[in-house]
Structure 1
Amino acid sequence: MSPWLVALDIDGTLVHYDQTMSDAVLAAVRDVAAAGHHVVLSSGRSLVAMTPVAELIGLKTGWMVCSNGAVTVRLDPEVQGGWEVTDTLTFDPEPALRLLSEHLPGARFAVEDVGTGFRLNELFPDGELDGEHRVVTLEELWDDEVTRIVVRSPEATSDDFHELVQRLGFDDVTYAVGWTAWMDIAPKGVSKATGLETVRERLGVPSERTLALGDGHNDVEMLRWAARGVAMGHAEEAVKAAADEVTGTVEDDGAAQVLRTLL
């Protein structure tokens, strides 16, 4: 049988909220990869936060879709570091940062430096962002085009973020609200689905042999893109509505339940 492209979200899907992966899920991912399927990690995480997960699983070759689709990476043990960035989609962060800093006083902002870390106007709490962190002025955050803006505002709820974006009219970017107090802003039209479609074409996998598994609002486009989109059991209703089926929760090793169906 020809292989499937298996797109896997990380946080809340493969990895528990304490950043651990169960033995059942780890074994299932490894077995799917060993069976010849194309396991593609697809996450809102930055590249530097995804490579440890790839190492844990044992993925030395293949592809990763990082930063909600703005960065596509080819894994290759023959190149320095074990990976190379093949695609980066960027945008001008200045208009969004100016508006958000005006309407969210006290918010913390970060822009991603692909492969190294982040520039920030103020340090984030420990463990929330990986890689090197360099504190700079707001003006230095928008010096150059970037792949992503991260917004952290402890006083804001998810609904507050959605309402603010609608009111400010962010028509030239794509945004995804994570948990409370967190929002990612990406280039217009960019999502995990757009990055995965690029990977699918390069691998030559038929669209009908694509599976995606996720739990967050930033997974909705990916779940709709896949021929078989599977939402985690703890996902919100809007995420489940975008999927073809629903599996168990992350605590129930729902990812392993789905992956075993490919073996």
Structure 2
Amino acid sequence: MTQPDATWVPRLVALDIDGTLLKWVQGEGTTHEEVAPRVHDAIHRALDAGAHVVLASGRSPHDMTTIADLLDLHGHEQERLWVVASNGAVIFRYLPGGEAEIVHEDLFDAAPAVRAILELRPGARVAVEDRGRGYRVTSPFPDGELAGEMVTADVEELVANPVSRVIIRDPDATAEDFVALAADLGLHGTDYVVGWTAWLDLTPVGVSKASGLQHVCDELGLGAEDALAIGDGRNDLEMLAWARRGVAMGQAVEEVRAAADAVTGTVYEDGVAVELDRWFP
């Protein structure tokens, strides 16, 4: 990553959602569905300056449109937004009040990886996105962790066809347990990200928020050298490395903070606004 010079201004701002735009509910694996006024105002200064603001999250498409509406990202022209969902596996355009228009989706065969994980963690829960509705799950996830409808199904049914993303969740394990588990298995042919808890996202090889954002840049005639990215999780590592300037939230795990070009305030200190104020005063 090359540090921008004094004349550089971001032309694309990529923002994670949970733990970046939205504050975590203490002691729970969910976030408050509200954006701090200071963060909202800073984002609109970026929009007014002509920057493209792109949400980039591990959330599924149906769980991201409400955040776009909270931020009023469409502006006065009500243009369609570019949004990177499912850790880069799904890219869509969104107009307020309308449905998400999927423009790109990466699929993969998750069955071998899921079977290998369940051999070692037979009590783990598995979820596959049911786009536009919610998730198909082997058993219900803890309240608030998945948005939309949850439909129970057998694991072999869930992975019988190619999917864009699989979630593995074990409430009885820790994030460190899952880091070790994924490293030991190797998970050949599949990429993975470990979350804050014992939460494992499986995605197609080579797919990440960074690859999704590059697709958006290609459409907009921009490049990574034009991008500022802000995030707090392990699924933001590729995005922070890809962008000209990658910024970690203050409460991010050390692995993420160390990989970033800079560290801003925590989500409780409106860290996104602190960073954006630097470029869009």
Fold match by TM threshold 0.5 = yes
Partner of 2:213: 196
Which of 213, 234, 247 aligns to 2:264? It is 247
Which amino acid letter does the alignment assign opposite residue 56 of structure 2?
A: S
Partner of 2:3: none
Shift of 1:152: 0.8
Partner of 1:49: 63
Which of 57, 82, 91 aligns to 1:72? It is 91
Shift of 1:82: 4.0
Q: Is the 8 A contact 1:158 1:177 kept in 2?
A: yes
Question: How many Å separate the matches in 1 of 2:181 and 2:224?
Answer: 36
Which of 2, 23, 31 aligns to 1:16? It is 23
Q: Number of paired residues?
A: 261
Partner of 2:229: 212
Q: Is the 8 A contact 2:110 2:190 kept in 1?
A: no
Deviations 1:180-228 (A, max 9, x none): 2211111111110000011011111243221000111110110000001
Partner of 1:36: 50
The gaps in structure 2 that reach 5 residues or longer are 1-7, 26-31, 75-79
SS at match of 2:268: coil
| Larger mean Cα displacement after TM superposition, 194-203 or 231-240 | 231-240
Question: How many Å separate the matches in 2 of 1:2 and 1:202?
Answer: 20
Q: Is the 8 A contact 1:177 1:217 kept in 2?
A: yes
Partner of 2:110: 93
Shift of 1:107: 1.0
* Aligned-residue CA RMSD (Å): 1.6
Question: How many Å separate the matches in 2 of 1:220 and 1:177?
Answer: 11
The gaps in structure 1 that reach 5 residues or longer are none
Question: How many Å separate the matches in 1 of 2:100 and 2:278?
Answer: 29
Q: Is the 8 A contact 1:3 1:205 kept in 2?
A: no
Which amino acid letter does the alignment assign opposite residue 66 of structure 1?
A: A
Q: Within 5 Å, give how 1:1-263 maps onto structure 2.
A: 4-18=11-25, 19=32, 20-60=34-74, 61-76=80-95, 81-263=98-280
Question: How many Å separate the matches in 2 of 1:191 and 1:125?
Answer: 25
Shift of 1:62: 2.1
SS at match of 1:196: helix
Which amino acid letter does the alignment assign opposite residue 110 of structure 1?
A: A
Deviations 1:48-104 (A, max 9, x none): 111100011112322110011000011235xx8243011110111211221222211
SS at match of 1:65: strand
Question: How many Å separate the matches in 1 of 2:213 and 2:223?
Answer: 12
Which amino acid letter does the alignment assign opposite residue 24 of structure 2?
A: Y
Question: Once superposed, which parts of structure 1, at least 4 consecutive aligned residues long, lie more than 3 Å away?
Answer: none
Question: How many Å separate the matches in 1 of 2:67 and 2:154?
Answer: 32
